[in-house]
Amino acid sequence: MSFLFKMAWRNIFRQRSRTLLSLLAIAAGVVAVIFSKAWIDGMMASLEGYTIDLTSGHVRLIRPEYRVKERLLSLAYPLGEEGPGYARLVEDLRHLPGVAAATGRIRFGLLLAPLAGEKQLALQGVGAELAAEDRVAHLGRFLRGEGEGRLPLPGRQEILLGKTTLRKLGLKVGDKVNAVFNTSFGSFKIATFRIVGAIASGLMYLDESTAYIPLDVAMNLLELPDAVTEIVVFADRMEKTRELQQTVEAYLRQKGLSYTAIPWTEHNELIAYMEKIKGFYSLIYFAFMVLASFVVFNTMMMIVSERTQEIGMLAALGFAPGGLRRLFLAESLLVACGGSILGVLFGGAVNWILAKVGFDLSAYMETSAPAMMLPPRIYPSFRWADLFFAALLGVVVTVFAAYLPARRAARLHPTEALRTI
């Protein structure tokens, strides 16, 4: 075997320009795999992370009827009206095995307007336990940097708004704002809140579409005593979502509650769709390497054609067909390894830099929907396992591409090959 590789090593340098072309083609394919996988993984990590933290949790509890009218921000189907109230329910959930955190939210529609002036802005209001939200969604991080202020405190009519919302209303932290909304009984109500914090996250969902108020204040104003529209439950790891869902469903059956436990993968159509097509991404990576391997395939076919006489001589001297096939496969393996290493070195270095600086998507985010939980800057992932995956894929696909030319060389009959002399 070592003799074969020595011959293969000498052979690949006989046509250096051709070998260099093959190396560059394989390296380009490996780089394409590294960049595309890093970009897709980074984008999905951001989308999934923000979706879980800000909206769905790992598992979300709602009433089945609420899911139909959720987009209307209906208050007609709260948790806590049947069976234990919210306080008891969330306390029980927090003590279930595998539960890292659980908290309730009331989502409702509201219209904000300054105390003076005619500006108005419709938003989604969220009544939440802000201390718990800070632990699971890390809202406090958005008050640093370009943000300012603090989180609203329980029992106070305080509100947390996004920087974009404040700019549209011509308000700032410390000002007061009027909020108009419907109670759970359908009656209009108006309340005045003091703005205590300004979020600067880069997410449209937070910066211009959502307003946070304390949960107890929301319960009182919306006439939902000890009730919420949803409870989000968190596991310590995303991979335990299914196990967590089964635990929560077992608890609901034990209590005789007809609530629905929805995993984050089914939170909305976009998330569900992306989870379903994850396997398709592997085909994309494979396609990049197949395109690159065409160069290797054509090169090997040319080599076999040009070295027909040499193949006949080797066969006449006793080289078995299997040995000829292994010789050409060894040549392709050496080229594949060289191209993959070159691609990993270049692609890995550039990807490491991009993982630090990210891609600016702010221009795109201006036209995206608020529900699209993507920040203005996406950071591609950087993992050593991905580099190994790209290199391995480059080697495997290239060697497979070289198999047909190698088999053709092995099938050449010595006498037919020697006739070309």
pLDDT tens digit sequence for 102-111: 999 999 999 9
- Residues 45 and 69 reside in one and the same domain: no
- The model's confidence at residue 417, banded by pLDDT at 50, 70 and 90, is very low
- Residues 158 and 205 reside in one and the same domain: yes
**Residue 16: C-alpha distances to residues 9, 202, 295, 345 (Å):** 12, 51, 15, 21
* Residue 59 domain-assigned (yes or no): no
The domain tally of the chain equals 2
| Secondary structure letter of residue 107 according to DSSP | E
Backbone region of residue 186 per phi and psi (left: phi > 0; alpha: psi in -120 to 50; beta: other values): left
Kindly report, residue by residue over 181-235, the tens digit of the pLDDT.
Answer: 999 988 999 999 999 999 998 888 888 889 999 999 999 999 999 999 999 999 9
* Residue 340 domain-assigned (yes or no): yes
Q: What's the pLDDT score for residue 340?
A: 87
Q: What stretch of H or E contains 106?
A: strand 101-114
- Residues 137 and 19 reside in one and the same domain: no
Pick the last residue of a domain from 227, 258, 289: 258
Kindly report, residue by residue over 13-63, the tens digit of the pLDDT.
Answer: 767 777 787 788 888 888 888 888 888 888 888 888 888 888 889 999 999
Tokens of 316: 């006449």
* Residue 265 domain-assigned (yes or no): no
- Residues 245 and 322 reside in one and the same domain: no
CA angle 152, 74, 129 (to 5 degrees): 25
- Residues 46 and 71 reside in one and the same domain: no
Cα–Cα distance for residue pair 88/99, rounded to 1 Å: 15
User: Could you give the percent of the chain with pLDDT greater than 70?
Assistant: 79
User: Once rounded to an integer, what is the mean pLDDT over residues 251-277?
Assistant: 81
Q: What's the pLDDT score for residue 175?
A: 94
Q: What's the pLDDT score for residue 408?
A: 64
Q: What are phi and psi of 111, to 5 degrees?
A: -115, 120
Kindly report, residue by residue over 136-179, the tens digit of the pLDDT.
Answer: 888 888 998 888 999 999 999 999 999 999 999 999 999 999 99
* Residue 57 domain-assigned (yes or no): no
CA angle 237, 198, 54 (to 5 degrees): 25
- Residues 279 and 408 reside in one and the same domain: yes
User: Once rounded to an integer, what is the mean pLDDT over residues 93-116?
Assistant: 93
Q: What's the pLDDT score for residue 201?
A: 86
- pLDDT for 127 beyond 80: yes
- Residues 128 and 221 reside in one and the same domain: yes
- pLDDT for 419 beyond 80: no
* Residue 267 domain-assigned (yes or no): no
Pick the last residue of a domain from 205, 227, 258: 258
- Residues 116 and 197 reside in one and the same domain: yes
Q: What's the pLDDT score for residue 279?
A: 67
- The model's confidence at residue 409, banded by pLDDT at 50, 70 and 90, is low
* Residue 172 domain-assigned (yes or no): yes
β-pair type (210-214, 121-128): parallel
- Residues 27 and 152 reside in one and the same domain: no
User: Could you give the percent of the chain with pLDDT greater than 90?
Assistant: 35
Tokens of 330: 């060894």
Question: Range of 237's domain?
Answer: 64-258
- Residues 254 and 280 reside in one and the same domain: no
* Residue 268 domain-assigned (yes or no): no
* Residue 56 domain-assigned (yes or no): no
- Residues 324 and 253 reside in one and the same domain: no
- Residues 300 and 342 reside in one and the same domain: yes
Pick the last residue of a domain from 229, 258, 287: 258
